[in-house]
Structure 1
Amino acid sequence: MSIIVGYIPTREGRAALRAARAEALLRQDKLVVVNSHRGGRDFDADEAQRFEDELGRVQRDLDEAGIEHEVRALVRGNEPAEDLVEVAEESNGQLIVIGLRRRTPIGKLILGSNAQRILLEATCPVLAVKAGDDD
């Protein structure tokens, strides 16, 4: 069993990671950190290096905390929602944790497409968290 977290280095990503760490400790389960990119022209070598450095920091923090974990950087042309649901199924995930952005009143009418797909397609529970002031 494992806890799956979708992580990008944003306030929302840090909030999701913090909540997933707490769940992994509480449940004494493995934490699988998934960083998913579609790739393409917008994902150049500098961007890839920035994300690799950030994931290295995440891995060191989890090592220091003594949390069993795996960090996956995926650039397979998939939408992040597709990657998270796949990893959850492969890893016998019991929970997926995602971060949500704050939206304008108009934006609140439509939930983010990745978040919506994860909520609808995941076969396990999904915990959606918002960033706090300290993220």
Structure 2
Amino acid sequence: MTVVVGYIPTPEGLAAVDHAIEFAERERARLVVVNTGHHGDNAHALFATAADLDALDAKLDGLGIEHEIRQPTAASSAAQEILAAAEEVSAELIVIGIRRRSPVGKLVTGSTAQRVLLDAECAVLAVKAP
């Protein structure tokens, strides 16, 4: 079993990773972690630093979870990258973090979570930060 998790260095992204880890431990699943900037903008705050990724890699290694960390730099949206990774690895589950947004905010800016929820060909677990 393979699980894809969308990761950004925010409370929502960390909540998604924590839930994916919990699932991976319980089901002995492989994790594919996907982090990307905003449409390929590697300077964007959502693009994890090398230190962020090294810490995550060390955590997953320490837990004995088979994993891969991807940080694509193409000018694609985060949703496109998550969905592409899920398709490529035949994921059975995608885990994403969500945050509260107003209805107007959803209409104006779109939503990575919404796109993943609507377009994924596998189950999606959407989690909120505690």
Aligning the two structures, in what range does the TM-score lie when normalised by the shorter sequence? 0.7 to 0.9
**Equivalent-residue separation in structure 1 for 2:61 and 2:18 (angstroms):** 14
1:120, CA displacement in angstroms?
A: 1.0
**Equivalent-residue separation in structure 1 for 2:15 and 2:81 (angstroms):** 20
Q: Which has the higher strand share?
A: 1
| Aligned counterpart, 1:32 | 32
**Structure 2: any 5+ residue segments left out of the alignment?**
none
| Aligned counterpart, 1:114 | 112
**Equivalent-residue separation in structure 1 for 2:25 and 2:93 (angstroms):** 13
Task: Give the 5 Å matches for 1:33-52.
Answer: 33-37=33-37, 38-40=39-41, 43-44=42-43, 51-52=49-50
Counterpart AA for 2:43: D
Task: Give the 5 Å matches for 1:8-27.
Answer: 8-27=8-27
| Aligned counterpart, 1:98 | 96
Q: TM-score, normalised by structure 2?
A: 0.88
Q: Between the two proteins, what is the percent identity of the paired residues?
A: 46
Counterpart AA for 1:68: E
| Aligned counterpart, 1:58 | 56
Task: Give the 5 Å matches for 1:68-79.
Answer: 68-79=66-77
Counterpart AA for 2:96: I
Q: TM-score, normalised by structure 1?
A: 0.85
**Equivalent-residue separation in structure 2 for 1:131 and 1:32 (angstroms):** 20
Is the radius of gyration larger for structure 1 or structure 2?
1
Counterpart AA for 1:54: D
Once superposed, what is the RMSD of the aligned Cα atoms?
2.5
**Structure 1: any 5+ residue segments left out of the alignment?**
none
